Amino acid sequence: MARSRVVIVGAGLGGLAATRALRHAPADVILIDRMNHHVFQPLLYQVATAGLTPGQIATPIRAIVRKQRNATVILGEVTGIDKETKRVFVTGVDRTNVPLEYDYLILATGVQHSYFGHDDFAKFAPGLKTLAHAVDIRNMVLQAFEQAEAKEDPNRHRDLLTFILVGAGPTGVEMASALAVLVRGSMHSEFRRSNTAEARILLVDLAPRVLAQFPERLSQAAQDARC
């Protein structure tokens, strides 16, 4: 009996969970991702606030599935799908739109943040979905402290050390908390000319409370625990 071929697009939490779930299945599993590493996204905020390094939350995909004999990893980007012929088209480093047949297809490509029609905001307000995003935010945060330290006018310090986070879901709340720890920890002891105690962290959301998707008692606990 011929073995089925399962193609999984995306090696995030969902894609890896699907791959592992099929480890004993009579099937060949092909896992495709644009990156050669898996990022544990729930900890991206820690990289963005200099609490962790990128290497601490990223693991090579091949290392994760190396013991799964029926799993193969392909580095590439899926550029198209033909449902009629059951093929995906993969573009890699040296090949373009290579057809790859499948019997079953799992799309686990994740989601993107939205600017609600204002994509021009992106250059001022980066999202937090990838390691690159986290590193960019970390650099922006640290640069803000350096700029404040270099300013002769102390009245400018408060403006430079104002951080606005849009979205009071789990990531926004964690990010705000980590920023507060950063400000009151190493930043407070390492900078001399700027008053880091004046730093402001503003968490903005359309909902009337933080963590609006959680029970109200948890939202209240998060509100009470604010730094």
Q: How far is CA 184 from CA 13, 41, 138, 145, 161, in A?
A: 33, 25, 16, 13, 13
CA-closest candidate to residue 163, choices 179, 148, 149: 179
Q: Which two tokens stand for residue 76?
A: 């590439």
Return the exposure string of 184-213: e unless at least 16 CB atoms fall within 10 Å of the residue's CB, then b: eeebeeebeebebeebebebebeeeebbee
Helix (H) or strand (E) holding 173: helix 170-182
Residue of 101, 146, 174, 216 marked active site = 174
Whether 146 is a known active-site residue: answer no
Classified as helix, coil or strand, 225 is coil
Give the span between the Cα atoms of 124 and 146, in whole angstroms.
18
Identify whether the C-beta of residue 6 lies closer than 8 Å to the C-beta of residue 24: no
- E strand map for the chain: 4-9, 27-33, 37-39, 58-60, 71-75, 77-82, 87-91, 98-101, 104-107, 162-166, 200-204
Positions marked catalytic: 174
